[in-house]
Amino acid sequence: MKRQAKKLMKKKRVASEDIVRKPRSPRYSSLTAREKATRERSLALLSDLRGGKGPYTELLRKHHLDTRTAHKYLGQDLLGGTGGKRVRPSKADRRVRELLFPMSSGDLPILTRSSQDATKLSEFFQDRDKLLRGKLTAQTFEAKWRGVRIGGQEVFADVTVILDMANAGDLKVENLYASTGGAQ
């Protein structure tokens, strides 16, 4: 009995020593303003990589990042890159993003973990911008966005109120991502 217990303990010890753990990406709440800005650039890199806007090295230069920093903030969302293989993005991710969400009182910052939600919000803001510039009719906008839920919340799609808020100057969104206070 003693011999079996020793053998079992030895196996457990060897198994735990063989595990090599990768460091986790830093928590969003613990980042400084400068690190949040760098993280946002990394997320923009990931988005451009998914959109096929260029090769990985070119996009690194465009977003003022190096490979180590991109891997620090994106980790598992950058696939390949070893053994001569190209770096490619994962299809979706669960990174925390601070986005602006359309509400009746204006665009309010929210935290989301879904890249699909971020894409859907981006599409909404593009359509709203088209509406404000007269490139999209009010009926088309309301038909597309009335009753749509993103991240469990209903998107505010009342055209008359949106136009009134735009005339009052409350809807000046140059960037989908909420300001993190970092250097722009």
Query: How many Å separate Cα 87 from the centre of its chain?
Result: 18
Tell me how far apart the alpha carbons of residues 107 and 125 are, in angstroms, rounded to a whole number: 10
Contact status, residue 107 vs residue 94, Cβ threshold 8 Å: no
pLDDT tens string 103-115: 988 888 888 888 8
The confidence score (pLDDT) of residue 54 equals 94
φ, ψ for residue 131, nearest 5 deg: -60, -45
- Which helix (H) or strand (E) segment is 10 a member of? helix 2-18
Burial (0-12, 13-18, 19+ Cβ within 10 Å), 157: buried
**Per-residue pLDDT tens digits for 119-149:** 899 999 999 999 999 999 999 999 999 999 9
Q: Would you give the DSSP letter of residue 172?
A: -
pLDDT tens string 58-106 = 999 999 999 999 999 998 899 988 888 899 999 888 888 888 899 988 8
